[in-house]
Amino acid sequence: MYAFGDDPDPLPESVQVLDEIVTDYIVDMCHDAARMASRGGRNKIKVDDFKFALRKDQRKLGRVEELLIMSKVIADARKQFDDKQEVNDVAGAGK
């Protein structure tokens, strides 16, 4: 809450209200995604189910797309870093 200009030490009641709002939103989104999966004849929820549930809110859907792309970029960067570490470890072991 502090990041958005609130007091560094907000009232516990304010924190609780915000926590309830966020929790309710997440639960509702999960239920919507589960409903979409069920309509598709699946028992497991996929990312596409969440994207479909957010289809009417372009701002949130865009943010989801952005986060998915960044997640892939980070995973690829980690993989490249790990691959370079393995090459260095193998090269160092030969000395």
- pLDDT at residue 55 tops 60: yes
Residue pair 66/81 in contact (Cβ under 8 Å)? The answer is no
- The pTM score is 0.70
Residue pair 61/54 in contact (Cβ under 8 Å)? The answer is yes
Domain ranges of the chain: 1-53, 58-95
- Quick one: fold of 1-53? Histone, subunit A (1.10.20)
Task: Give the percent of the chain with pLDDT over 70.
Answer: 91
Name the pLDDT band for 91 (thresholds 50, 70, 90): low
